[in-house]
Amino acid sequence: MDTLQLKETCRRIRLLTTECIASRGLGHIGGSLSAVEALVVLYYDVMRIDPAFPGMPGRDRFVLSKGHSGPALYAVLADRGYFDPSLLRTLNRPETILPSHCDRNRTPGVDMTTGSLGQGFSCAVGLAIGSQLQGDQANIYAMLGDGELQEGQIWEAAMLAGNRGLDNLIALVDWNKMQLDGLVEDVNGIMPLADKWKAFNWDVIHVPDGNDVEQVRQALRQARDARNGRPKVVLLETVKGKGVSFAEQAGVNSHNMPVTEQMYLQAVAELT
């Protein structure tokens, strides 16, 4: 896909994500929209996957450790052909295959059940070790929230991955500077972020604009192609609520906010 096609895909994914959340009336729109470029680059450019064969042995895996951003992943999976996009309007309803947080037993294409912050990343480290033991060539990608980095379990997993030199593991941090009810630096700061990862024996790739598909693509390809005995972390500076004005303007309040059908139509008008 060229840059224009990737940008067009991001626009479509933002609409599908907003539609999905609007069908339920509220949801985690801020952290879903900030992650769109990274998800699109992974699923349309970087990962070795086959939507017709979600369980393909040796495929690359993706763990959305910030599992509350499920709607953005569901939009990508539907758009990629894992399931019918009309199901996006069943978010979090009884019997749905799309719970608000990711569940690998319910949704085709979801590789790990997540939602309890911190835990998904440990599972990703386990997948990376498992892949190496089996001798396949898979890469394991895990997306973490910047607020999620306050979880102690993240650093236990990071330490193990660094010590084991898991060069098939690529972490992405959706560094939108905000968590549930405040700025990350006000609540429990994570700076100096790059130095922390380096101290755990990780290679760090900094992306100044994590909502620029071309910057994200270059960083993720670089991380994927460097099998140098060290895990990689891609720090993506993003904007919470990116691309939909009411979410972007809500800032911290976009974390889990009401989204009506009328607001969805407003997003359609903005993004069309």
Ligand X SMILES: Cc1ncc(C[n+]2csc(CCOP(=O)(O)OP(=O)(O)O)c2C)c(N)n1
Residue 176 is a binding residue for Mg ion (CB under 5 A): yes
User: The tokens of 108 are what?
Assistant: 């085709």
**Minimal CA–CA distance to 124: which of 143, 100, 105, 102?**
143
d(CA 177, CA 174): 9
Nearest to 259 by CA among 22, 71, 15: 22
Q: Which entry of ligand X, Mg ion, none binds 116, CB below 5 to 8 A by partner kind?
A: ligand X
- When the beta carbons of 22 and 239 are compared against ligand X, the nearer one is 239
Q: Please, what is the minimum distance in Å from the beta carbon of residue 58 to ligand X?
A: 30
Nearer to ligand X, 61 or 66 (CB): 66
Work out what residue 217 binds among ligand X, Mg ion, none; the CB cut-off runs from 5 to 8 Å by kind. none
Query: Rg of the chain's alpha carbons, rounded to an integer?
Result: 17
Q: How many helices (H) and strands (E) does the chain have?
A: 11, 7
The token pair that represents 251 in the structure block: 């800032």
Residue 191 Cβ vs Mg ion, minimum distance, rounded to whole Å? 14
Answer for which of 67, 120, 145, 231 binds Mg ion (CB under 5 A) is 145
Q: Give 36 or 178: the residue with its C-beta nearer to ligand X.
A: 178
234: left (phi over 0), alpha (psi -120 to 50) or beta: beta
Specify whether the backbone of 7 is left (phi greater than 0), alpha (psi in -120 to 50) or beta. alpha
- 3-class SS at 98? coil
Buried b (16+ CB within 10 A) or exposed e, 198-226: eebbbbbbebeebbbbebbbebbeebbee
Least Å from the CB of residue 131 to ligand X: 25
Nearer to ligand X, 153 or 201 (CB): 153
Minimum CB distance to ligand X smaller for 106 or for 227: 106
Residue 254, token pair as written in the block = 């976009």
162 binds Mg ion (CB under 5 A): no
* Max intra-chain CA distance, the chain: 51
**8 or 248: whose CB is closer to Mg ion?**
248
The listed partner (Mg ion, ligand X, none) that binds 180, CB under 5 to 8 Å by sort, is ligand X
Q: How far is the CB of 173 from Mg ion (least distance, A)?
A: 9
The option from ligand X, Mg ion, none interacting with 68 (CB < 5 to 8 A, set by class) reads ligand X
Contact 60, 152 (CB under 8 A): no
Shortest distance in whole angstroms from residue 140 CB to ligand X: 19
**Is the Cβ of residue 49 or residue 158 nearer to ligand X in the bound state?**
158
Answer with the entry of ligand X, Mg ion, none that 5 interacts with (C-beta below 5 to 8 A by kind).
none
Residue of 37, 79, 146, 167 that binds Mg ion (CB under 5 A): 146
Q: Which does 163 bind (CB under 5 to 8 A by kind): ligand X, Mg ion, none?
A: none
* In the block, residue with structure tokens 């952290």: 31
Contacts with ligand X by CB under 6 A lie at 30-31, 66, 68, 115-118, 145-148, 174, 176, 178-180, 240, 255
- The residue count of the chain comes to 272
Interface residues toward Mg ion, by CB under 5 A: 145-147, 176, 178
